[in-house]
Amino acid sequence: MTESQLIGASKEDIDTPALLLDLDILDGNIARMAALAADTGIALRPHVKTHKSPLIAHRQLAAGAAGVCCAKVSEAEVMVAGGILDVLVTTPVVAPEKIRRLISLARQATVGVVADDLRNVRNLSEAARAEKTTLDLLVEIDVGQHRCGVAPGPAAADLADEIARLPGLRLRGFQGYHGALQQVVDLDRRSADIRQALDLLLESANVARRRGHAIEVLTGGGTGSSATDIGFHGLTELQPGSYVFMDCNYSRIHWGPDGALVLFGNAISIWTSVVSCTSADRIVVDAGWKSASCDSGVPILKAIDGATFSFAGDEHGKLSVPEGTRIAAGDKVELVPSHCDTTVNLYDRYVCVRNGKVEALWPVAARGKTQ
Amino acid sequence: MTESQLIGASKEDIDTPALLLDLDILDGNIARMAALAADTGIALRPHVKTHKSPLIAHRQLAAGAAGVCCAKVSEAEVMVAGGILDVLVTTPVVAPEKIRRLISLARQATVGVVADDLRNVRNLSEAARAEKTTLDLLVEIDVGQHRCGVAPGPAAADLADEIARLPGLRLRGFQGYHGALQQVVDLDRRSADIRQALDLLLESANVARRRGHAIEVLTGGGTGSSATDIGFHGLTELQPGSYVFMDCNYSRIHWGPDGALVLFGNAISIWTSVVSCTSADRIVVDAGWKSASCDSGVPILKAIDGATFSFAGDEHGKLSVPEGTRIAAGDKVELVPSHCDTTVNLYDRYVCVRNGKVEALWPVAARGKTQ
């Protein structure tokens, strides 16, 4: 079966391993996040590092997103080439070659970038000025993750001062992101942690505003903090990524006070075949570390209650199923990835399904674009 | 700098993250493994799941390899299309669509496949017969890994009986592979375990030979067992993959009785840049889970004594360096992957360097070919 012949085929006919994308669930997730933000005055700027697809970004924009976030310049290049004309690069861009490419993008689209270093800000200014363009700059603030970002408060405002006075740059605001908070399971605990991180960002904005800066944008947050962030009304812009697809890890966290409510559905899965089944405890499938990321644990088996998956090498996984489960070589099963972003990055395309039929094949256009 | 402009450039000019391949070390590794097997009568059939590149496979063949191993049909397709005309698929091929593709390959090249299931063997026979071609079959035997493979001894010989009498199939021999043994650190312990696994394979071959089968091929082994396997003279064919590149995990195992000798050099590395360095304990690089696999631990930093790398998300890593180390945003460093196969599978190309200069760009042609 050629690629185009696959359109309209049933799910059973899809060769494995494959990355399935359920379009109904995808559309539901996009609509649900859009509804959360609607009428709150808080803009949605979804992070495309999860899906790496301009096609999905266009759906997010159609549902009301203000633009997108990209992790790297090469990812932003794929988005702009795919018609996404408002991108924020959420990691500092330091290398001269990358700065040059960022400036070229800024002539084709609205491009923002974060920075946490004075020398870097000066280089960005010089490059933008030389190309007679203007780059939107946001100061990245360390709100507790201790990764990138300047210290909150006066240090953040100091860098804002420099950005404001340098040619070629437009100071837009501050970014504060705290990845580890996103998956704190308990909602009360997570909300308290999010509040603490947000306060560091708001405090920094206040210092900068007292110095006369506009600080129009306070951007940050992710899927796990989204509902809480919207409730706090502190950020002007939300950066959730994983909500479009969800994964086992995000499914574990509590989304409501009852600990049960999950806002988003699992839209992607790994379609895998049993290739060997020599005994009830030796059920081997064709998906291993090259087909499912393991940075955040193991995928979960769909549809077979009590069954579990374990990695068995680069190219193999093993299933453990309850006694009496009928399963044989050739059977296909679905796994929900433990981490959607890193699993998607292993595949060249989504096999898009709706009601069990293949509707489209979408490239993971920015796959491997880590530069 | 365009792709072709990169040829001849210095390593410092390579954009990050990138997968560097040192051609001198690669050539040395290929020559060293070839020398181990030379004049022993044991054939080398390197596993291409490590490098996924017909160009590297051609170098292995030029150094004396008899053919290559592939993990999957789609990987074999890339090899045959790249001019590699003797491939063994080391995982059972079960789906009707994949069997059809395997048979097509068998008309273009010498193609073997392993099997551990009677129904599968019958399907392979039927498909080969219908296309008027012959497929080489090897019985996969479980020599202790408890993944794929029939039980050693009579069960293995029973499947051999069936293969021998079915049309379209040529019984070539047995495969016995035990991945977990490859990285047993202590050489004596590893050798003893390898002996035990080998004996299960030899015993199975003896049963089959007593039933009148030729059993010309006994194939298995990997990088960690290679020297020992050659010493035992039991296998007729070795399947090492990782030796071409090596990685941190294989560097840890003992290669000689003194526990120090390492036979192969680290040929690949992850080239990464510092993108943020707001304090001595916040050195952030642009390589995270999307640029280095983590299934087998963390990469090791080259060139900075006492420095360590830790993952800090999909797109970020953090360095911990000894006090007084001079390092700043924009600096580039090299990481040795913990697991070469799964790291290579994240990249679209090798940036091939020799003496610090870019000599070639080679595609990772079978990247993502897990089908």
Interface probe for A, chosen from B148, B175, B277, B285 (most Cβ of A below 10 Å), is: B148
A290 contacts B116? CB cut-off 8 A: no
Q: Does B118 score more than 60 pLDDT?
A: yes
Q: Which residue of B has its CA nearest to A283?
A: B147
- CB-CB under 8 Å, A290 with B315: no
Q: Give the Cα separation of A274 and B279 in Å (integer).
A: 50
Structure tokens of B114?
């392993």
* Chain B: closest CA distance from residue A267 (Å): 20
Q: What is the mean pLDDT of residues B104-117?
A: 97
CB distance B156 to B141 below 8 Å: yes
What lies within 8 Å, CB to CB, of B292 at 6+ separation is B270, B298, B299, B311, B317, B335, B337, B338, B343, B346
Of the CA atoms within 13 Å of residue A38, those in its CB half-sphere come to: 9
Whether B77 shows a pLDDT value over 70: the answer reads: yes
Contact B116 A91 (CB under 8 A): no
User: Which parts of chain A have pLDDT scores under 70?
Assistant: 1-2, 258-261
What is the average pLDDT score of chain B?
A: 95
A 10 A CB-CB count for A113 gives: 31
Q: Which of A147, A273, A329 sits opposite B316 (nearest CB)?
A: A147
Report DSSP state, residue B245: T
- Are A15 and B311 inside 8 Å of each other by CB? no
| Inter-chain touch A91–B275, beta carbons under 8 Å | yes
User: In Å, how far is B39's CA from the nearest CA of chain A?
Assistant: 32
Cβ pair B309, B299 in contact under 8 A: yes
Q: Are B69 and B90 in contact (CB under 8 A)?
A: yes
The amino acid occupying position B188 is D
Q: What are B304-316's pLDDT values in tens digits?
A: 889 999 999 999 9
Mean pLDDT value across residues B293-320: 96
Peptide bond into B17 cis (omega under 30): yes
Average pLDDT over residues B228-245: 95
**Apex B212 CA angle, B208 and B218, nearest 5:** 45
Q: What pLDDT shows up at residue A1?
A: 63
Q: Scanning every residue of chain B, which has its alpha carbon at the shortest distance from the alpha carbon of A272?
A: B371
Position B4 scores a pLDDT of 77
Q: Distance (Å, rounded) from C-alpha B179 to C-alpha A167?
A: 59
B contacts of A17 (beta carbons < 8 Å): 370-371
Find chain B residues with C-beta within 8 A of A151's C-beta: 278
pTM recorded for the entire structure = 0.97
Judged by CB atoms closer than 8 Å, whether chains meet at B315 and A149 is answered as no
Length of chain A: 371
Position A260 scores a pLDDT of 58
Which residues in chain A are contacts of B318 at CB distance < 8 A? 147
Tally the C-alpha atoms within 13 A of residue B287's C-alpha that lie toward its C-beta.
31
Q: Give the closest of A15, A146, A329 to B97, CB-based.
A: A15
Beta-carbon separation of A286 and B146 below 8 A = no
Arithmetic mean of pLDDT, B42-46: 97
Return the structure tokens found at B55.
């160009």
Q: Do B278 and A149 touch (CB under 8 A)?
A: yes
Contact (CB, 8 A) for A241 and A341: yes
Yes or no, beta carbons of A92 and B147 under 8 Å apart: no
Structure confidence at residue A3 (pLDDT) = 75
